[in-house]
Amino acid sequence: MAGRHAAGPAPHRNDPEVIRRLLTGTRRWAVVGLSTNQARVAYEIAGYLTDLGIEVVPVHPRAETVNGARGYPRLADVPGHIDVVDVFVRSELAGAIVDQAVEVGAGAVWLQLGVIDEAAAARAAAAGLDVVVDTCPAIEAPRLGVA
């Protein structure tokens, strides 16, 4: 079979129980790429996460406040523990964000729909983080019956 998954899924790839736990058992997500631009998918998904009862921390170079939540320019600037780093950047930029998530001690990384960096995902998994790649909470929560 041709395509990006021809060799079979990576061992860290989107375990439904991990996804369920991240969507129901975590409280604080740093959403990298979240800005005040309401036309962006990150804005919509941040609202969806908030509706699930998750605290959303915006991480964007402009450090904008989004829906009353203070933004930070980098993951390293976010005070306190981050349960999940939700990555809304192009695939070629995702590796650096994943490495930052490992450095700050995040519990998981979630690479959004269309964001794929298998090497970065493998590094995160090797560091003990839960990893989700190329899907979205707004797809997974209803599919798993958690929203």
Residues paired with 86 in a beta bridge:
31, 110
CATH number at residue 92: 3.40.50.720
Contact 76, 98 (CB under 8 A): no
28 falls within a domain: yes
106 falls within a domain: yes
146 falls within a domain: no
Residue matched to tokens 């604080």: 28
pLDDT at 12 (0 to 100): 54
Token pair recorded at residue 67: 């829906």
5 falls within a domain: no
Please give the helix or strand (H or E) that residue 125 lies within, else none: helix 118-126
Token pair recorded at residue 98: 């994943």
Tell me the pLDDT tens digit for each residue of 52-95.
999 999 999 999 999 999 999 999 999 999 999 999 999 999 99
Average pLDDT along the chain: 92
* 5 three-state secondary structure: coil
Question: Which of 114, 37, 117, 49 minimizes the C-alpha distance to 84?
Answer: 49
Strand order across the beta sheet in which 55-59 lies = 55-59, 28-32, 84-87, 108-111, 130-133
For the entire predicted model, the pTM comes to: 0.91
